[in-house]
A and B are shown apart, each in its own frame.
Chain A
Amino acid sequence: GQQLNQSPQSMFIQEGEDVSMNCTSSSIFNTWLWYKQDPGEGPVLLIALYKAGELTSNGRLTAQFGITRKDSFLNISASIPSDVGIYFCAGVYNQGGKLIFGQGTELSVKP
């Protein structure tokens, strides 16, 4: 089946550092979504991208929909302790709206 490759799997950073993670696929997607999941909670939508080349920000978060429609990245600037969690990318690959998820990037921030 279709797969998304998300990297890195985990990151350990110092508070204040910038963070970058990305997802790639062999398939073309119509939509890219980025979610954050806190321990024991459901994923919360951070940013949604709907057009190739689109660059969208949400506070300290910036995400881009790759021109080839096969990749996306998420940047977090000036990380803070509450950024800790697992970040997932997800691609929508058909009209039915089914998502394919990346494996997640676990972010740890040291104060």
Chain B
Amino acid sequence: DVKVTQSSRYLVKRTGEKVFLECVQDMDHENMFWYRQDPGLGLRLIYFSYDVKMKEKGDIPEGYSVSREKKERFSLILESASTNQTSMYLCASSGGYPKETQYFGPGTRLLVL
């Protein structure tokens, strides 16, 4: 079974703090994705990566950066957290067979005060 894990289920941070969200997958998938999910807006793609050290902007990259130093790990970084980044953050990976199928982690609910 594909397993995608996220470092925290719940996180509370203050405005201006630097926040790291970690995602690890154990299926040797090439592709990894970060989404945020907000009521009424659905899932929106922040960043994705097709390979180690590669990153591509998604639909809403502003205020975020990512890091992929190892194939199994994809980190989302909020350089200076703001209240409008309060959200549910979901990590996903794909690359097995079929390649397009994405598998999601349990999510991190982030509250920025």
Residues of A participating in the B interface, judged by any CB pair closer than 8 Å? 1, 30-31, 33, 35, 40-45, 48, 50, 88, 90, 92, 96-99, 101-104
Contact = CB atoms under 8 A, between A and B. Distances in A.
B67 interface: no
Contacts of A30: 100
Q: 5 smallest A-B Cβ distances: which pairs?
A: A42-B104, A92-B100, A97-B100, A101-B43, A42-B107
Interface string B2-46: 001000000000000000000000000001000000000011010
Interface of chain A: mostly helix, strand, loop or mixed? loop
Contact of B107 (A35, A41, A48, A92): A41
Interface of B: 4, 31, 42-43, 45, 48, 50, 58-59, 90, 92, 94, 98-107, 109
Contacts of B94: 97
Contacts of B31: 96-97
A48 B103 CA distance: 11
Contacts of B98: 31, 48, 50
